[in-house]
Amino acid sequence: MTYSGASSRTLSGEISEEAAGREYTLKGWVMHFRDHGGLIFIDLRDYSGIIQVVFDENEKNESFKSAKKLKNEYVISVTGVVRRRPAGTENSNLKTGNLEILAASVSILNTCETLPFQIDEETDVNELTRLKYRYLDLRSKRLRENIIFRSDFAHAVRDFLGKKGFYDIETPFLTKSTPEGSRDFLVPSRLNQGHFYALPQSPQLFKQILMVSGFERYYQIVRCFRDEDLRADRQPEFTQLDMEMSFVEMKDVIRLSEELFESIFKKVLGAELATPFRVLDYDEAMNTYGSDKPDTRFNLLIANLSDIFKDSSMNLFRDTLSKGGVIKSICLPGGYDIVSRKDIDELLAVVKDFGGKGLAWTKVSRDGSLEGGISKFINAGEKNSLLTKTGGKPGDIIFFQADSNKTSNNVLGRLRLYLAKKYNLIPGEKLDMLWVVNFPLFEYSEEEKRIVSVHHPFTAPAMNDLKYLETEPLSVKSESYDLVLNGEEIGGGSLRIHDASLQERIFKILSISPEDAKVKFGFLLDALSFGAPPHGGIAFGIDRILMLLRNEHSIRDVIAFPKTQKAYCPLSEAPSGVTEAQLKELGIRLIKKD
């Protein structure tokens, strides 16, 4: 074992054409070991890049003999003179591709066992193995660049917000269980047995308290926790850019967020981002895209055909309308040829999965007439209006839903995404950012049989709707805004309630009793009554944003040490068993399984 000093080392990235003829010592990892008889080539990889090293049998030194012992991923220190590569052997993929080092001496700083998979090769190795040997997978160009991008991204965020006068303020991780959210991770307290901390789902209450404290501009890049049943794109711990500002209106938070992304794009992607972003009203998003996080990179817009079919010869259409439902559609351009009878069967199954009752359709034939599906129930007048409203042209196919507005939107919104993927309608390179605003404040939860908050109970209602807060709560809008990128929600926020009595009214509508409110949120209600300023904020999901910007398919690929969908870490084998003594100290025991 040797302790080798950085001081006695040159990075490959520091070696330029002018270095030719001079001797340097480099340290790093062996890549692409190639034994060509009298010549051995390796690529030496360090933190700054890659450079080719040549060991030549004809050179009068020991290096060639030592090089025979090298294997891929050995850690070495190599000393030699930099020279231009012979003409025709340059590698334009490397920054140092015109240069190489002719080794004079080499020493092995550490060896490497046989690799379970080859670095940088996209093989069929399963993800569990890659996660178990994460330190090997992290050496690959792709993951390495993702993690470095993440660091650069965080740096750009902090730089921008620092300049805008935001304070980076740390909030507690051992905090109080948050009702009205997802499931908390709990931490048993040893010093207060029988009591538990909760890991924060977000610093929501603390950032509001910071506004009451007078800091006015807060941000934090902070880990948050949710004990959910994990889907493909979730992690039990995730990172949020959390912000809050005092004395602001919605437009201030929106403008600042846009400037933030402009600045980040410029710094880490070298790209200009067009601002302001498009702003969609929640109702418009639902009615046009069938989603509150619409993917606007492609069309396939939902059209409302209720007016057209009010006298339809189809019972289904008339019945639906008479029950207050709607007839809606999307039109797939070119669908006449590409959607087969078999595809339609598949789409019908898919639509039923999405909660639809069925899938009516009609094709528009070359001569402009309707063909197949429900075409025979559509008269000439209806046809003309239909093609106008849907933009349907010869060669297209139109799909219908006749159902409640909510179900029709939802089913067509999901069908829209399904068709776009199936028929490759999504431009790969495009980044489409937009705001969705004016969400409803409340929704009715069938599960809980009560009114619940769409965002969280601290969201401010729209001023103009205050008057029917109690009488028509479900029609009250909120001062809220979500940021959507390529059909993924990447951020969301709202103005908050800063008036204790209004907050109490909201709790009442949510069926949270004054006693419960006091136990759960007492400190927030207290704080609101001691000079709380008007305030609002937003939080961005960093993992999701990085995944989209890096064109990855999983947030696991932008997290250094992610967990599996079972919330398990194959590297450290967490979670794991603990001793009886540990549990006893905490005053808990395991429930025996039956």
**Residues 74-93 within binding reach of a second copy (CB under 8 A):** 74-75
Residue in this structure with the two tokens 């937009």, named with its chain if needed: 434
- Residue 467 interacts with a second copy (CB under 8 A): yes or no: no
**Interface with a second copy (CB under 8 A), residue from 35, 57, 145, 252:** 252
Structure tokens at 246: 């005092």
Class of residue 71 by CB neighbours under 10 A (exposed 0-12, middle 13-18, buried 19+): middle
- Residue 100 interacts with a second copy (CB under 8 A): yes or no: no
- Residue 206 interacts with a second copy (CB under 8 A): yes or no: yes
CB distance 104 to 63 below 8 Å: yes
# of chain residues touching a second copy (CB under 8 A):
140
The single-letter DSSP state of residue 228 is: -
- Residue 104, number of CB atoms within 10 A of its CB: 17
Q: Which of residues 543-572 bind a second copy (CB under 8 A)?
A: 559-561, 563, 566-569, 571-572
**Interface with a second copy (CB under 8 A), residue from 81, 102, 147, 452:** 147
- Residue 158 interacts with a second copy (CB under 8 A): yes or no: yes
Q: Which of residues 421-440 bind a second copy (CB under 8 A)?
A: none
- Residue 270 interacts with a second copy (CB under 8 A): yes or no: no
**Interface with a second copy (CB under 8 A), residue from 57, 62, 145, 585:** 585
The single-letter DSSP state of residue 372 is: S
The stretch near a second copy (CB under 8 A) out of 196-204, 309-317, 407-415, 546-554 is: 196-204
CB distance 20 to 99 below 8 Å: yes
Consecutive H or E run containing 403: strand 397-403
- Residue 326, number of CB atoms within 10 A of its CB: 23
CB distance 382 to 347 below 8 Å: no
Q: Which of residues 220-239 bind a second copy (CB under 8 A)?
A: 223, 225, 227, 229-230, 236-237, 239
d(CA 370, CA 379): 10
The single-letter DSSP state of residue 297 is: T
- Residue 209 interacts with a second copy (CB under 8 A): yes or no: yes
* Residue placing its CB nearer to a second copy in the complex, 211 or 351: 211
- Residue 460 interacts with a second copy (CB under 8 A): yes or no: yes
Consecutive H or E run containing 264: helix 250-264
> What's the min distance (Å) between Cβ of 520 and a second copy?
10
d(CA 486, CA 490): 9
The stretch near a second copy (CB under 8 A) out of 81-89, 166-174, 263-271, 480-488 is: 166-174
The stretch near a second copy (CB under 8 A) out of 35-43, 97-105, 165-173, 418-426 is: 165-173
Looking at the DSSP assignment, which residues form a beta bridge with residue 360?
400
Q: Which of residues 356-415 bind a second copy (CB under 8 A)?
A: none
Helix (H, G, I), strand (E, B) or coil at 477: strand
**Interface with a second copy (CB under 8 A), residue from 14, 46, 233, 259:** 46
**Interface with a second copy (CB under 8 A), residue from 16, 89, 105, 111:** 111
Non-local (6+) Cβ contacts of 380 within 8 A are: none
The stretch near a second copy (CB under 8 A) out of 185-193, 257-265, 338-346, 400-408 is: 185-193
